[in-house]
C-alpha cells in the first residue's frame, strides 16, 4: 500500500517572540501484520530536517471522551503518557528514504519536518510491505548529465538511460525525459525548478505568490481510532501532480537520452537539468545537472598598425558589407596621432569609424580626396573600415588602371604619432600645377605650385606619353590620384626639393625640368612628402615640349 501527502510548510512565529519555527508533524499507523515499511521524503527547493519516530502509548484514548475544541485528537493523544524511539533522521535538499522493519509495539509513527530557512514544500510517501515502492523512476548508476558539444547558440547533452524507460515497451511506457534550461543554477528536483519558474512568472506579472493552506495536523488517513480495522487498500495520487507535467517548458521531451538545446545566446552560461517523469504516478527523479558556456561570437581580427606604416587595405570582391579592424597606440605621453586615409578602390563607398574604450570619436566617409583625422587623449584607438557599396568613379588611363588592379587596393591608410603638433597639418591652398608657355622649350619646361608655411619636401615625377595617349589627351592621360610615389619607378623621379614660406599667399615654388625630348608630351606629378601622413598628390599636369626652337 502506498500513501502520499504534499505538506506545505509555513513559517509561524512563536508566542515567545522568536523569529520562525516552521515545523510540521505527520502521524500514521501500519496495517496489522505489516513487517516492513518505507517512508520517502522529497524536499522541493530548500534543505529540510526530517525524522521518523515510533511512539508507544500506555493507554488508548476512550472513544466517548469529550475532546476540547481547541485541540485536535492526535494532539491530545500525543500529549498522553508513552515512550518514543527515533528510527531515522536526515538533513538536506535531496530525496531521502527510510526502509526498514516495522515496530510491533508502536502505537503510532510520527514524521517531523522542519525548514530552518523559510517556507517550502515537502512531499512524503509511505509504502507498506517489502520491496521497492516503485513510485519514483529509477536512475542509472551514473546519474550525471554529460556535455557532448558546445556551439555559439546550441549545446548537445547526453545521459545514461533510465531503467524505468528501457525495461518497458514503448507502447506501455509511461515515462519521459524532460530537459530544463536556465541561466541561474542547477536544481535538485523538478519541484525546485517549477518553484523558480512560478516565482519568475509572479514577479513579471506583479503578483505575490498565494499562500498555501494546510490543516493544522495533516495525517495520511482518517483518525486512526475510528478506522483501525477498515484501512483502505490503496489511495490514489493527487491528479494535480501529473497535471503539472503539462505546463513544463521542456527543451527536449521524450524517451531519447540525447538532446540538442538551440536558440541560446552566445557567450552565456547555462545550466541543464534532466528529469525522468512518471506520468502515471506524477513523480520524477533528477539527474545530476550540467552547465556549459556557449562560445562567443566570431570577432574580426584586429591588426595593429606600426608607427608611420603605409597600409593598403583591400576588401573581398563582390562583398557589399565587408569590414576590417585596426588598432594603433601612439607614442609619447601626449597620446596623440594623425590618421590619413584615401580611397583607392575605383568606386567603393567606404566609411571609417574611430573609437576608444568603446566610445565612438568620429565617423567619416573615405573618398578619393585625402582626409585627416586628429587623434588625441587616448592610449589606444580602434579603427574600423567598412565597405558600404559601390559608387561611380572617374575613368583613368589603361596604364593607371593596370597599376591599380595590380595593387588590388581599396583604401590607402597611414597613421603616425604627432609629438609636437596640436592638430592636422596645413594643406596647400590649391593642388593645381601651373606651366608657363613662354618658358616652355624643346628640352625643358617650367612648373609652379603652391606650398605651405611648413618646411616640407616636394618631389616631381614625369611620365612620357605614347602617341595615342598624347593625341587623346584629357583626363585619360592623367595619373590616378591614389597612386603615390611608392608606386612610381625611380627613373620617373626628376627632382626633390624642400620649401617653406610663412606667408601662405606667397607660398609659391617653381622648378625647371630639363632633359626632355622635343615635341613629346609628358605628364608631371608633384608629391608633398611629409613626416606624418600619406604624401599629398597634386593634380597631374600634361605638357608638350616644343618641336622646334
Q: Smallest Cα–Cα separation from 448: which of 430, 439, 436, 463?
A: 436
Q: Smallest Cα–Cα separation from 136: which of 117, 123, 149, 151?
A: 123
Please state the φ and ψ torsions of residue 348, each to the nearest 5 degrees: -75, 145
Question: Is residue 67 in some structural domain?
Answer: no
281, 298, 315 — which closes off a domain?
A: 298
Question: Is residue 222 in some structural domain?
Answer: no
Question: Is residue 66 in some structural domain?
Answer: no
Query: What does the DSSP assignment read for 359-415?
Result: EEEEEEEE-SS-EEEEEES-S-EEEEEEEEEE-------HHHHHHHHHHT-SEEEEE
Give dist(CA 169, CA 255) in Å, integer. Answer: 11
Distance of CA 494 to the CA centre of its chain: 58
Could you tell me which residues come within 8 angstroms of residue 307 by beta carbon, excluding any fewer than 6 positions away? Answer: 331, 416, 417
Q: Is the dihedral of CA 74, 79, 80, 82 positive or negative?
A: positive
Question: Is residue 479 in some structural domain?
Answer: yes
Q: Smallest Cα–Cα separation from 124: which of 209, 221, 212, 247?
A: 221
* 77 CB burial (10 A radius; 0-12, 13-18, 19+): buried
Please report the pLDDT score of residue 522 as a whole number: 92
Whether 89 and 180 share a structural domain: no
Give dist(CA 94, CA 45) in Å, integer. Answer: 9
Q: Smallest Cα–Cα separation from 5: which of 210, 245, 221, 191?
A: 221
Please report the pLDDT score of residue 205 as a whole number: 66
Please report the pLDDT score of residue 289 as a whole number: 92
Give dist(CA 304, CA 328) in Å, integer. Answer: 6
Q: Is the dihedral of CA 372, 377, 379, 385 positive or negative?
A: negative
The residue length of the chain stands at 549
Neighbours of 281 (CB within 10 A): 20
Please report the pLDDT score of residue 182 as a whole number: 92
Question: Is residue 213 in some structural domain?
Answer: no
Q: What is the total count of domains within the chain?
A: 4
Give how far Cα 361 sits from Cα of 118, 179, 382, 386, Å.
Answer: 53, 47, 10, 16
Whether 346 and 493 share a structural domain: no
Whether 81 and 167 share a structural domain: no
Give dist(CA 305, CA 313) in Å, integer. Answer: 12
Q: Smallest Cα–Cα separation from 11: which of 112, 119, 116?
A: 119
Fill in the DSSP letter of residue 10.
Answer: -
CATH number at residue 461: 2.60.40.10
381, 416, 451 — which closes off a domain?
A: 416
Whether 290 and 327 share a structural domain: no
**pTM for the whole thing?**
0.49
Contact status, residue 156 vs residue 147, Cβ threshold 8 Å: yes
Half-sphere exposure (CA, 13 Å, Cβ side) for 516? 29
Neighbours of 345 (CB within 10 A): 24
Q: Smallest Cα–Cα separation from 445: which of 540, 342, 544?
A: 544
Query: For residue range 300-344, what is the model confidence (pLDDT) as tens digits?
Result: 788 898 888 888 888 765 554 578 899 999 887 778 888 988 887
Contact status, residue 273 vs residue 289, Cβ threshold 8 Å: yes
Range list of β-strands (E), 208-307: 252-254, 258-261, 269-278, 283-286, 290-293, 302-304
Whether 294 and 311 share a structural domain: no
Please report the pLDDT score of residue 420 as a whole number: 60
Per-residue pLDDT of the chain (549 residues; tens, 9 = 90+): 444 444 444 433 222 222 233 678 888 888 888 888 888 888 887 888 999 998 887 766 555 555 454 555 555 565 667 788 899 999 988 888 888 888 888 888 889 998 877 777 888 888 888 777 677 888 899 999 999 999 999 999 999 999 888 887 765 668 889 999 999 999 888 888 887 777 666 666 665 545 444 444 444 433 333 333 333 333 444 444 445 666 778 889 988 999 999 999 999 999 999 999 988 888 888 999 999 999 987 777 888 988 888 888 887 655 545 788 999 998 877 788 889 888 876 566 788 999 998 889 999 988 878 888 888 888 999 999 888 765 544 444 555 555 544 445 478 888 888 766 666 677 888 889 999 988 999 999 999 999 988 888 999 999 998 766 665 555 555 667 777 888 888 999 999 999 998 888 889 999 999 999 999 999 999 999 877 778 888 989 999 999 888
Whether 40 and 146 share a structural domain: no
Please state the φ and ψ torsions of residue 410, each to the nearest 5 degrees: -110, -35
Whether 54 and 191 share a structural domain: no
Please report the pLDDT score of residue 363 as a whole number: 92
Whether 273 and 157 share a structural domain: yes
Give dist(CA 201, CA 209) in Å, integer. Answer: 10
Whether 122 and 141 share a structural domain: no
Could you tell me which residues come within 8 angstroms of residue 67 by beta carbon, excluding any fewer than 6 positions away? Answer: 73, 76
Question: Is residue 9 in some structural domain?
Answer: no
CATH number at residue 338: 2.60.120.1540
Could you tell me which residues come within 8 angstroms of residue 223 by beta carbon, excluding any fewer than 6 positions away? Answer: 73, 74
Whether 255 and 318 share a structural domain: no
128, 147, 171 — which closes off a domain?
A: 128
Give dist(CA 66, CA 415) in Å, integer. Answer: 100
Whether 250 and 272 share a structural domain: yes
Please report the pLDDT score of residue 460 as a whole number: 95
User: Cell for 4?
Assistant: 502520499
Cα angle for residues 477, 487, 399 (degrees, 5° grid): 30
Please report the pLDDT score of residue 352 as a whole number: 92
Please report the pLDDT score of residue 74 as a whole number: 58
Q: Which residues pair with 107 in a beta bridge?
A: none
Whether 191 and 283 share a structural domain: yes
Give dist(CA 543, CA 512) in Å, integer. Answer: 13
Range of the domain at 537: 433-544
Cα angle for residues 385, 388, 389 (degrees, 5° grid): 135
Contact status, residue 532 vs residue 421, Cβ threshold 8 Å: yes
CATH number at residue 92: 2.60.120.680
Distance of CA 247 to the CA centre of its chain: 28
Question: Is residue 396 in some structural domain?
Answer: no
Question: Is residue 231 in some structural domain?
Answer: no
Amino acid at each position: 500500500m502506498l500513501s502520499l501527502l504534499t505538506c506545505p510548510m509555513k513559517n509561524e512565529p512563536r508566542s515567545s517572540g522568536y523569529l520562525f519555527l516552521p515545523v510540521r508533524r505527520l502521524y500514521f499507523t501500519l496495517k496489522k501484520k505489516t513487517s516492513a515499511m518505507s517512508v520517502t521524503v522529497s524536499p522541493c527547493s530548500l534543505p529540510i530536517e526530517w525524522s521518523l519516530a515510533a511512539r508507544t502509548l500506555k493507554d488508548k484514548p476512550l472513544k466517548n471522551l469529550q475532546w476540547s475544541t481547541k485541540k485536535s485528537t492526535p494532539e491530545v493523544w500525543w500529549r498522553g503518557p508513552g515512550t518514543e524511539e527515533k528510527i531515522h533522521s536526515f538533513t538536506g535538499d535531496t530525496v531521502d528514504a527510510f526502509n526498514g522493519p516495522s515496530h510491533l509495539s508502536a502505537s503510532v509513527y510520527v514524521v517531523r519536518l522542519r525548514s530552518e530557512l523559510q517556507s517550502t514544500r515537502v512531499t512524503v510517501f509511505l509504502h507498506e510491505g517489502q520491496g521497492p515502492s516503485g513510485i519514483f523512476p529509477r536512475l542509472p548508476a551514473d546519474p550525471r548529465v554529460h556535455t557532448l558539444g558546445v556551439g555559439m547558440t546550441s549545446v548537445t547533452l547526453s545521459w545514461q538511460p533510465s531503467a524505468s524507460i528501457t525495461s518497458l515497451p514503448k507502447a506501455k511506457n509511461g515515462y519521459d525525459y524532460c530537459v530544463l534550461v536556465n541561466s541561474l543554477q542547477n536544481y535538485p528536483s523538478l519541484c525546485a525548478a517549477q518553484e523558480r519558474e512560478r516565482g519568475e512568472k509572479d514577479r513579471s506579472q506583479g503578483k505575490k505568490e498565494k499562500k498555501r493552506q494546510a490543516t493544522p495536523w495533516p495525517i495520511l488517513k482518517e483518525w486512526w481510532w475510528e478506522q483501525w480495522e477498515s484501512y483502505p487498500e490503496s489511495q490514489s495520487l493527487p491528479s494535480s501532480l501529473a497535471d503539472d507535467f503539462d505546463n513544463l517548458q521542456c527543451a527536449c521531451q521524450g524517451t531519447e537520452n540525447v538532446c540538442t538545446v538551440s536558440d541560446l545566446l552566445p557567450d552565456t552560461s547555462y545550466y541543464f537539468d534532466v528529469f525522468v517523469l512518471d506520468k502515471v504516478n506524477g513523480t520524477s527523479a533528477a539527474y545530476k545537472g550540467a552547465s556549459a558556456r556557449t562560445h562567443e561570437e566570431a570577432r574580426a581580427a584586429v591588426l595593429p598598425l606600426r608607427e608611420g606604416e603605409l597600409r593598403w587595405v583591400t576588401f573581398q570582391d563582390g562583398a557589399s558589407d565587408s569590414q576590417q579592424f585596426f588598432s594603433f597606440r601612439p607614442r609619447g605621453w601626449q597620446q596623440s596621432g594623425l590618421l590619413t586615409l584615401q580611397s583607392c578602390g575605383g568606386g567603393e563607398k567606404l566609411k571609417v569609424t574611430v573609437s576608444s574604450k568603446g566610445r565612438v570619436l568620429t565617423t567619416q566617409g573615405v573618398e578619393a580626396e585625402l582626409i585627416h583625422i586628429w587623434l588625441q587623449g587616448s592610449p589606444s584607438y580602434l579603427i574600423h573600415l567598412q565597405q558600404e557599396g559601390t559608387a561611380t568613379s572617374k575613368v583613368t588611363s589603361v596604364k593607371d588602371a593596370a597599376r591599380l588592379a595590380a595593387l588590388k587596393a581599396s583604401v590607402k591608410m597611414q597613421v603616425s604619432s604627432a609629438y609636437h603638433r596640436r592638430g592636422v597639418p596645413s594643406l596647400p591652398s590649391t593642388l593645381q600645377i601651373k606651366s608657363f608657355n613662354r618658358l616652355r622649350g624643346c628640352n625643358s619646361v617650367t612648373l609652379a605650385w603652391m606650398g605651405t608655411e611648413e618646411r616640407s619636401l616636394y618631389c616631381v615625377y614625369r611620365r612620357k606619353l605614347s602617341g595615342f595617349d598624347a593625341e587623346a589627351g584629357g583626363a585619360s592621360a592623367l595619373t590616378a590620384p591614389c597612386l603615390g610615389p611608392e608606386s612610381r619607378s625611380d627613373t620617373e623621379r626628376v627632382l626633390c626639393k624642400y620649401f617653406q614660406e610663412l606667408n601662405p599667399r606667397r607660398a609659391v615654388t617653381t622648378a625647371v625640368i630639363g632633359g626632355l625630348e622635343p615635341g613629346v608630351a609628358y605628364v608631371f606629378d608633384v608629391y608633398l612628402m611629409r613626416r606624418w601622413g600619406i604624401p599629398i598628390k597634386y593634380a597631374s599636369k600634361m605638357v608638350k615640349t616644343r618641336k622646334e626652337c
